[in-house]
Structure formats: structure tokens, C-alpha cells
Amino acid sequence: MPLKIALIGNPNSGKTTLFNILTGSNQTVGNWPGVTVEKKEGRLVDDRSVFICDLPGVYSLSPYTSEEVIVKQYLENECPDIILNIVDACSLERSLYLTTQILDFRIPTVIVLNMMDILEKQGKKIDTEILSDLLGCSVVKISAANKTGLQKLKNTIRLTINNSAVNLKFDTTTEKALNEIYKYTAANSANLARWYSIKLFERDFSAANKLGIKADALKKIDSIINTAEKAFQNSSENIIATQRYKMVEFIYNKCVVSNKNRQNTLTDKIDNIVTNKYLAFPIFICVLFLIYSLALGSFSQNASEFITNGLFGQGWFLFNIGAHEYERDLNSYTENTKIIEYFSKNDNGSLKFANIYIYDQNGKITKKIAATRQDYENALKSTLPDKSRYGIWIPGLKSSVQNLLSKTNCSDEINDLITYGIISGAGAVVGFLPQIFILFLCLSVLESCGYITRIAFITDRLFSRFGLTGKSFIPIIVGTGCGVPGVMASRTIESGRNKLITIATTTFMPCSAKLPLISLICSTFFKHRMLAAVSIYIISILSIILTALIFKNFKYLSASTSPFIMEMPSYHLPKLSAVLRDVRQKVISFLTRAGTVIVLASILIWLLSNYGISNNVLVKCEIDNSILAQIGKHIAPVFKPLGWGDWRFTVSAISGIIAKENTVSTLSILFKGHELSAVIQEILNANSAFSFMVFNVLCVPCIAAVATIYREINSFRYGTLIVCYQCCFAYLIAFAVYKLLFLTLPVMLIIIYYASKTKKAKHAP
Ligand code: GDP
Ligand code: MG
């Protein structure tokens, strides 16, 4: 029989880190409770006959959250041979509650005191011998991050296999009641009889069903419980919980020696500033600002341009040598053609001098050329500059494929589909890789060093005023990566209303797929593009708060307030390998999407935008008469009040529902052959562009996220309510943005201020 080891502990106690060391397998290392929702299995590196299972982090085994249910069921049904109870040594007191429950299973258990490195820095000591005596099981000190104590842990595991002695006892009255109940459970659940006795004592009737206890036996058990409840003047569940807390306090005081004169640790000092009542938010906004300055800075702009126009476009000069000169000569060649054009049109042989104006699409003069007859004659001799004379020209994907296809006699249509449909569409999205890479990198570093947890903490302070808990912020933070796991992370929230609001608002947060659009609009239309990018985040957060205030009126949703437990891990330097692994995974998933969903959607958009229906037959036609244009033009008027009534933007917004990256790739297909940022600048202004962006950020997320919303809310009615709400809300805010631009922010703040005030007044007696 292979040996089965279960890793159980609080969130962020280091289970996944230890699991990775023991099994050598790749996993993300996260900082939020709720990241490890599924159970993960692997085999021990030195001994492949040993199975290890990484269970989700929990604070107790009372089955209220889905994590707790997973762990409880695992222990009841899978019978692991050994439990490794991973305990964050720095928060021993909080961790021990779970330990007291685990020990009730009477499965051989090793207490693994992790994070010893931090504990030492804090100047605290834990007496493991006393702890081991009080609990009746082995205790090992390790530091998973520094890989210390692991050999001792492996030795201890071997010695523990057959040792299930436990010293934990409740007081005599409770023990007497438990022993009486034990008679009924022992027959049906050999090893777990103690655990089930306690469950029955707590009136957990699912245990009774599971054990198949008969009605008359249940009656007897009930009278046993009643006697105990009378003796304690308390409910049986509370009797057990109170005594567990007492045990924990007793054990903690016995075995922890703390150095009273210790100095404030660096973490305390940083936290004093970073979570300070007044400074926390300004600092948070500065951090966001800094991240976006990096992500949208000139480095990533240049890299981005290289990818779209070079790699995926016509081509580029090696090391950029000759690019400048070529550009200059190309410009003068274009001017020359204008001169030739003008002279050949207007010249009767005597024209000596001409002022030639160059116009843009809106008829605005962009340049004036004063040309003489001599200039005209010179122009006649000018030739299109040959790239190969300036430097080493490397053709890009688009021009190479175009050449290749024309050589193979492939039809123009296929050529067009591949170059302007697929390559342009995918290129437009992949072009944002530099921005996204930098953003992922920054977020991953912040997560790894512990700052993201602080953000959740400070937002909890803000959120709790509007009836949301900080727990809602975890899904929202996860949602900045992708809405799907974001919505799923709302499982940790028990309360009906909080859960509904969280699910409805998680996707308001710009996910990574929305970044290309944000980056495009902010850098095309705003001189201070970072400010614009940060303000979209602020609009998102304000929208969440506003929604919470609106949904407060749903009386029939229960509103139990669950206490928010979130630990503050000490700050540590980011682990380079973990950060890189995390960024690599995100980048790969971004690229796979660009390579699959986006390519397919691009093909579809290309087809619909190149074919139209005439006399009931499908014919190739100009884009303005295409099927897509027909559909788009019908819907476009709806968005006219938002400032972007052009059908191409409507179509782009709709295609975003398949995948949000599509908004950009669709635009690039529809404005075929033009530089996207230049051409949208001719159609939109700052207000309407910002309105377009806000609408796409707040409106329904992609299909995958919508499906997740329906699944998590588990009600067709509420799911539909959420989707409709998101559309209407996005429309309203986009309208406000079109009219007010950045003034929308203070207006939203004022509305929130008054709405929360009137709510309070209503609740006052
Ligand atoms: P899980 O939620 O229990 O799976 O916890 P993780 O394994 O994801 O770890 C949470 C955080 O604690 C990560 O940032 C780890 O790098 C960090 N960590 C884990 N073990 C140690 C340790 O022994 N010392 C220190 N300083 N950090 C640790
Ligand atoms: Mg984990």
C-alpha cells in the first residue's frame, strides 16, 4: 500500500512551498487565502511510493466555506496515513485551533512549525518539547523558504507512521458525554469514532446520517447532549468551541517565550507607514502610478511598436541601423510624389512656383510645401528608397507571408485573410506583450513581497463602511489577472449578499485582457497616460462601492457579517524563481489565448467584414457593405450618446464578449492597413475614447467569465440580473465619462458619500 500524506494548515502557512520541495513539482506560490482551492497531489522526490496531497488552506474544520468542506471530507473519506499540520510559527495561537480539530481524527500527525526564520528575527522562541508533550504528537521546526529542517522532518515522518497518541482532552463533564456517545459511533466508524462523537455532540446531523445511526439511538444521544447543555448553560457547539479556545490559550502560554524588549521589526516599521490611516491610500495610488509608468513607459512603447509593425508587420532594420535615414528619405519621397501630382495636374508649362498643402482625412492641413519648378524636376528623378541600401532589413511576418503566398499562386482572398485577418489581429494583441509582461512582473513582485495582502487589508477598512468585507477584495485582486478565477475566489465568502455583490463586481476590475485596450487608449489620447490608466482603476473601485450601496437594498438576501481574518505575512524579498515562474505562466496563457481564441475570432471578424449579402447570395464586398457593417450600423445608434456611434467601435465592443483582447484586434482588422492609434484619433476625441474604454472595462466580461458567474451564483435569475446590471451600469458610467471625463471621479465620490450617509440615517433607530 502506498503511503498517503496530507498537508493541512492555515492559508499562507507555507503548504504549497513545502509541497513543491517535497514533490519537486511546479505550483504557483500565492499570498491570498483562497488561491489553493483544488487539492493537488504529487509523489515524494526520494520515495515515489509516497503520495502527498496539498489541501486548501483553512482556519477550522467547521464546514462553512468550500475549502473547509474539501478538507473535512478529505479527512473523513480518504484516510491519509499521516497528516502534516503546517503551522505558521509566527501566528501559533491562531493556528492551534485547527490543530485541536485535526488531532480529533486520531490520525498520526506531525506538527510542522514553519517560518522559523521569521520567528527568530522577531526574537520569539517556541519550546517544541512542551508543545509536543501537551499535544501528544511530534513537532518539527522548519523553514520551507530556506529549506532548513527538512531532513529532520523526513525522519520524523518515518517514526510517526504508527503513532496516533493524543493528549488533548476536554473537561470531565464534556468527556463523559463524549464517551457515552462514543458507544454509538465506535461500531460504524472505527478510527474516526472520536471525531464523529464530537460532531454528533455538536448536533451535526450529517454525521448521524453518514454513520446510519437509528432514530432511537439518536434520541438517547440527544438526551446526553441536553444534560451537558444544562450543566454548561450553553449550546453544545459553543461548549466545544469555548473549550478549544481555552486549550489553545493554555498551550500557547506554556510554550511561547517572547522577548519582551524586542525592537520593532522592520515589518512593523514599514506597516506603520504603509497601512497608516491617512497615508495608506495615497501610497497605494503612487504604487499603481509607478507600475503604470513602467508598464506604459517609452521602453514598452518602443518594444510594442517593434512587435506590431516590425515582427508582425512589414519588417525592421537590424539594430535599428539606418531606420532614421530611411524614414527621412521615405518622407521626402512621399513629398516628391505630392509635388509631381500637383504639377502634372495644374501645370500648363509655365508654372514656376506652387504652395502645396497636405491634408489629413478630416481636411486639416498637416504640412505646407513651397515647391519651385526646379523642385518638380528634381522630384521627377527621385525613386522609392531601397531599404537594403540603408541597413540590414529583416522582413516581418506579414510581408514574408504575403510574399510566400503570392509565390505559391494562392488566391488573393486567402492571402488577405491570412495577412490582414489572422496576422494583424493576433499581432495587435501580441503587441501589448511588453506592457503586460512588465505589469505582471510588478504585480508578482508586490504579491511575493507581501504588499498585496496590505492592499487587501487597507481596502477592507474602506469596504467595511459599505457593507462589504475585505474578503470581497481577494476575488477582486485575483480578478486583475483574470475574471474567471476572480469570480471563483468568491467561494470563500459565506454571506449571501456579500457574495452576490462580489460576484457582480469582481469583473469591474481591469483584467489582463482589458490591458491592451487601456494601453491603446491611454497612450493615444492622453499626454499623462499613467494618470488616465490609474483613474480607470479608481473608477473601477468606486463602481464596486457604488454597486455595494445599490445592492444593499436587496432585503431578502441574508447579510451575516463574517469576521475578516487575514494575516499580514512579514515582508520578505521577492523570491526570483517564484516570481519568474508566476510571470511565465501568465505570459504563456496570454499568448495561448492570442494564438487560439483571438485567431479564431479574427478569422470570423475578417469573414464577416469582407462579405456581404446581395440578392440572397454571399458576395465579397467593401467593408462598408459587409454583414458586420450591417449588424454594426443597426446597433451603433445605441452608443451614440456615449460618443462612439461609429459602427466599427460597436462591433469591437461586441467582439470583446468572446474575449476582451478582441476589442483591439477587431479594430485593427476593421481599420485594415492603417496605423491603429493614428486612425482612431481621427474618429474619437479624448472624451469619447475614454468613454469607450470605460464601457468595455465595466460591461459584461468575456463569455468564460459570464459562465463562471452563472455557475458560482447558481441561480439563473440572479445570474441574469447581474449581467443586465453590468450592462446598464457600464452604459451610465460611460455616458458620464463622455460628458465629464475626469470630473466623473469626484461626482462618483459625492454620490457615494451621500448614498452611504442616507443609508446610515435609515438604519438609525
Ligand atoms: P500556502 O497558502 O499554505 O500554500 O502558502 P504558500 O506556500 O503559498 O506560502 C505563502 C508565502 O509564504 C509565500 O510567499 C512563501 O514564499 C512564504 N513562505 C513559505 N514558507 C516560508 C518560510 O519558511 N519562511 C519565509 N520567510 N517565508 C515562507
Ligand atoms: Mg497553497
Tens-place pLDDT, residues 133-145: 999 999 999 999 8
Nearest CA to ligand 1 atom 27: 145
Q: Which domains does the chain have, with CATH numbers?
A: 3-160 (3.40.50.300), 315-395 (no CATH)
Kindly report, residue by residue over 304-344, the tens digit of the pLDDT. 888 877 888 888 888 878 788 888 888 888 888 888 877 77
Q: What is the model's pLDDT at position 34?
A: 41
pLDDT class of 32 with cuts at 50, 70, 90: very low
Kindly report, residue by residue over 379-414, the tens digit of the pLDDT. 778 788 887 778 788 888 888 888 888 888 778 888
Q: Please give the average per-residue pLDDT across 688-707, as a whole number.
A: 90
Q: What is the model's pLDDT at position 764?
A: 42
CB 117 within 8 A of CB 89: no
Question: Phi/psi at 630 (nearest 5 deg)?
Answer: -60, -50
Span from the CA of 292 to the centroid of ligand 1 (angstroms): 28
* Top-confidence residue, 732 or 315: 732
Ligand approaching nearest to the C-alpha of 582: 1
CB 252 within 8 A of CB 124: no
Most confident of 205-209, 227-231, 357-361: 227-231
Compute the C-alpha angle 139/141/142, nearest 5°: 135
**3-state secondary structure labels for all residues of 570-606:** CCCCCCHHHHHHHHHHHHHHHHHHHHCHHHHHHHHHH
Tally Cβ neighbours within 10 Å of residue 265.
15
Q: What is the model's pLDDT at position 65?
A: 66
Kindly report, residue by residue over 358-385, the tens digit of the pLDDT. 765 555 677 777 778 778 778 778 788 8
pLDDT class of 170 with cuts at 50, 70, 90: very high
Nearest CA to ligand 1 atom 17: 14
Atom of ligand 1 nearest to the CA of 35: 2
Dist. CA 533–CA 530, nearest whole Å:
5
Atom of ligand 1 nearest to the CA of 30: 8
CB 648 within 8 A of CB 664: no
Residues facing 57 on adjacent strands? none
Span from the CA of 288 to the centroid of ligand 1 (angstroms): 25
Q: Please give the average per-residue pLDDT across 234-253, as a whole number.
A: 86
Compute the C-alpha angle 393/397/328, nearest 5°: 40
In the structure, which protein residues have their CB atom closer than 6 angstroms to any atom of ligand 1? 9, 11-17, 29-31, 36, 57, 114-115, 117-118, 143-145, 448, 569, 572, 575
Kindly report, residue by residue over 489-543, the tens digit of the pLDDT. 676 666 667 788 888 888 998 887 888 899 889 988 998 888 898 999 899 989 9
For a substitution probing ligand 1, which of 7, 8, 12 has the most ligand atoms within 8 Å of its CB?
A: 12
Among 111-120, 332-341, 558-567, 679-688, where is mean pLDDT lowest?
A: 558-567
pLDDT class of 185 with cuts at 50, 70, 90: confident
Distance set, CA 597 to CA 500, 699, 734, 744 (Å):
29, 20, 27, 34
Span from the CA of 6 to the centroid of ligand 1 (angstroms): 17
CB 453 within 8 A of CB 334: no
Could you tell me where the DSSP H helices lie in 658-743? 662-670, 676-683, 686-698, 703-713, 716-740
Nearest CA to ligand 1 atom 10: 12
Span from the CA of 163 to the centroid of ligand 2 (angstroms): 27
Task: Report the share of the chain in percent with pLDDT over 70.
Answer: 90
Dist. CA 200–CA 202, nearest whole Å:
5
CB 687 within 8 A of CB 742: no
Residues near ion ligand 2 (CB < 5 Å) are 16, 36
Rounded to two decimals, the pTM is: 0.60
Nearest CA to ligand 1 atom 19: 14
Span from the CA of 694 to the centroid of ligand 2 (angstroms): 34
As given in the structure block, the three cell numbers for residue 424 are: 494583424
Span from the CA of 487 to the centroid of ligand 2 (angstroms): 18
End-to-end CA distance of the chain: 65
Q: What is the model's pLDDT at position 39?
A: 63
Span from the CA of 114 to the centroid of ligand 2 (angstroms): 14
pLDDT class of 759 with cuts at 50, 70, 90: low
Nearest CA to ligand 1 atom 24: 115
| Residue type at 643 in one-letter notation | G
Q: What is the model's pLDDT at position 324?
A: 83
Q: Give the CB-side neighbour count of residue 374, counting CA atoms within 13 A.
A: 0
Judged by DSSP in three states, 633 sits in helix
* Top-confidence residue, 149 or 704: 149
Atom of ligand 1 nearest to the CA of 17: 7
Sort strands 353-359 and 365-372 into parallel, antiparallel or unpaired: antiparallel
pLDDT class of 560 with cuts at 50, 70, 90: very low
Is the pLDDT confidence value at 763 over 50? no
Atom of ligand 1 nearest to the CA of 146: 23
Kindly report, residue by residue over 409-453, the tens digit of the pLDDT. 778 888 888 887 788 778 877 877 887 788 778 878 887 888 877
Q: What is the model's pLDDT at position 555?
A: 52
Ligand approaching nearest to the C-alpha of 32: 1
| Residue entry with cell 469582481 | 506
Q: What is the model's pLDDT at position 33?
A: 38
**Average pLDDT score, the chain:** 82
Span from the CA of 48 to the centroid of ligand 1 (angstroms): 24
For a substitution probing ligand 1, which of 16, 17, 28, 581 has the most ligand atoms within 8 Å of its CB?
A: 17
Atom of ligand 1 nearest to the CA of 115: 23
Q: What is the model's pLDDT at position 116?
A: 92
Judge residue 486's burial from the number of C-beta atoms within 10 Å of its C-beta, 0-12 exposed, 13-18 middle, 19 or more buried. Answer: buried
Span from the CA of 242 to the centroid of ligand 2 (angstroms): 29
